[in-house]
Amino acid sequence: MHREPTNVFACVCLFLCLPASRSFFQVEAILVNIFGGIMRCDTIAEGIIQAVQTVDIKVPLIVRVEGTNVEQARQMLDEANLGFITASDLDDAAQKAVASIA
């Protein structure tokens, strides 16, 4: 399968998770909020999973997805067993991000 969008998204996730950027910005949590209108949420979830499997993330990763194939994406994130904190909407994601660093 051709998956360039996933690779692009994985690169964005990798950049956010680099040790240098974490220490420079003092990142305590990462909140990914995606509305998959054109891009399918399951493809985005796959990119997030690939990124986390590649980089040792030491901060909580909160993921909120909405759009095409959202249920499949949420299931993929849950079944990945990589410690994702999934959220149902942006308010839920923000609350979970704050709670994860409290």
Q: Global pTM? A: 0.76
- Rounded CA-CA distance 37/84 in Å is 22
Domain membership of residue 61 as a residue range: 4-101
Number of structural domains found in the chain? 1
User: Would you give the distance in Å from CA 47 to the centre of its chain?
Assistant: 8
CATH number for 75: 3.40.50.261
Question: What sign results for the dihedral spanned by CA atoms 99, 13, 17, 52?
Answer: positive
pLDDT at 14 over 80: no
Tens of pLDDT, residues 54-83 = 877 888 999 999 999 999 999 999 999 999
CB-CB neighbours of 46 under 10 Å: 20
